[in-house]
Structure 1
């Protein structure tokens, strides 16, 4: 398989890297320095046809960010949950990141478009323009009255995860721990249930990645939309609280939703380690399992580029084609590769976005 297979990716944290980079933003987005996992040139070269770009407000602490690779190198580990963040702290940072996503379009209008509808996505991909969809990972910026959701929706928000791995006024996330279970803590708050209803009304994807099991159950009972976990893997293959149990996978399948395959090494390695020198067999076994539990129509890609430690065999966005080639050698035919690469994401988004 030599031709590029265009793919749609369910999760990346490029906006955070763009905001935090000491280099000029033009260099980070348009340059070819090779830092991080994404930039426009490598995305075009690697077949990145579209994806969800996360607005993520990092924990506000003094000093350098934690070295998750070192902290998660030798299980067992159980990292402390960051404290709840209020909307008055989160909202200015989230708006800045939303502005950066719109700037990315203005800086490269022939190559990148911020998409607000399925017709936008289809038109962009047909013209070989990267289709960017605004996502929010952790809804701290929305606030208790939910009014800001209307604002973010107006400027492009089409996917929202109520929690990251810390509590919010809407629900509870899972810790970065191994081994561990997603069955920890209470479910959605009343404000969280209101958030789910409003997302349904607006046609905004509700992302279940990072949410604990009780919250997952509440969304499944309440939401009228397909269930989506944009960047999660299978608990049976790696016992991380961030991974999904078979019961959760089956509920997602039965709702017509999907799971985006996460490249994070500590959610792929059976021993929970962050090591990156794994063989393709680890990824293939995990993908086989997801397809066995969910079916071919409910598995997609959710890399977590620029937000996690990924296998050396992938390296950055240009390595996705090597993964797809390995899936082909493993026996996945062209129809299944199309579904995994972009077909399933586009079908699922088409069932949710208004």
Structure 2
């Protein structure tokens, strides 16, 4: 790496590519979500007081609908660790086609998924309204920069898995009007738009048939609206279909390097090359299962596992195309991370690894904002 260690030790603001705090708030219905998030402590790894303490300046807040009949919010690693005891569980979802797809979690039905997704988006609207300017839902890169300048939490509405969207894409128009600016067509389960990649280790990501015709239509509709299409849960065939049909930068909001951890959810060098060619971006996932060479959740793991992936992705993509996609409230973190307040340990580890202030600022927030600007066109 050409950059030398900087002597500047100021807190670097972090704009992050993925969290599941809305799922935690949804599952904890007995509390007012606005109060839980704004005042803390929220159930899980993220709330506004902890964000301020950590220098967490904003990010993509995902609306994710849990699979039916699972014991807790389904996490990106398929486990329930870091879920605080006492959080509720919504069990209204219906089982759909799981016998045909034994490797996948059940897929929620359209009606339930729509209700939950709109409910989570409403949570964000209420949080913003109740925050007295401390939280800002952002619809452009300019609004993100302005929110960060004003010390407000910059929130981008994101959907992880498009089960809520109807085949005619009517709800896409509604959600866009609400503020939606990013969408992952699938989570790691099949829906009408395509096949997500199941959680397997060791495994190639080439585990399914990719997008359906409706999925390709959804990608093109997102291009027209300048909604970012997130590749993180697509199988490899779906990845290449997006690369073929999309005119936007290829972005994987919370994925890691397959060469370092052979998880099915991670990206191969060939995929990374396509992302680089498109001017795209990868956000490093903080989940141990996606970081470690053995794919395990080891009590000995540290934030240096993340540094290893950041180093590798910078080598493959260049310093303008890598950042963070923590997956707070969705994965098992390294024991020294615990929650959002552990970000300072990661930033310190990157400094120790030779990252100067300019590169830290790119990785921590500038690269994310720029790829969103390239995608949204504003």
TM-score with structure 1 setting the length: 0.94
Question: 5+ unaligned residues in a row in structure 2: which ranges?
Answer: 1-7, 82-101
Change (3 A) 1:66 1:302: closer
Q: After superposing the two structures, state which structure 1 stretch, 117-126 or 147-156, moved more.
A: 117-126
The corresponding residue for 1:94 is: 117
Change (3 A) 1:169 1:34: closer
**Mapped partners of 2:233, 2:302: distance in 1:** 26
The corresponding residue for 2:349 is: 326
**1:45 and 2:24 are equivalent in the alignment:** no
Q: Is the 8 A contact 2:24 2:43 kept in 1?
A: no
Change (3 A) 1:31 1:347: same
Alignment of 1:21-100 (within 5 A): 21=28, 22-33=30-41, 35-61=43-69, 64=72, 68-69=78-79, 80-100=103-123
**1:120 and 2:157 are equivalent in the alignment:** no
Q: Is the 8 A contact 2:193 2:212 kept in 1?
A: yes
**Mapped partners of 1:235, 1:57: distance in 2:** 26
Q: Is the 8 A contact 2:68 2:106 kept in 1?
A: no
> How far does residue 62 in structure 1 lie from its aligned partner after superposition?
6.4
TM-score with structure 2 setting the length: 0.88
Q: What is the CA RMSD across the aligned residues, in angstroms? A: 1.9
**Mapped partners of 1:297, 1:66: distance in 2:** 32
Secondary structure, counterpart of 2:238 in structure 1? helix
The corresponding residue for 1:187 is: 210
Q: Is the 8 A contact 2:57 2:148 kept in 1?
A: yes
Alignment of 1:151-300 (within 5 A): 151-300=174-323
Q: Is the 8 A contact 1:86 1:143 kept in 2?
A: no
**1:17 and 2:21 are equivalent in the alignment:** no
**Mapped partners of 1:345, 1:248: distance in 2:** 19
Question: 5+ unaligned residues in a row in structure 1: which ranges?
Answer: 72-78
**Mapped partners of 1:188, 1:329: distance in 2:** 42
Change (3 A) 1:26 1:200: closer
**1:340 and 2:348 are equivalent in the alignment:** no
Q: Is the 8 A contact 1:161 1:209 kept in 2?
A: yes
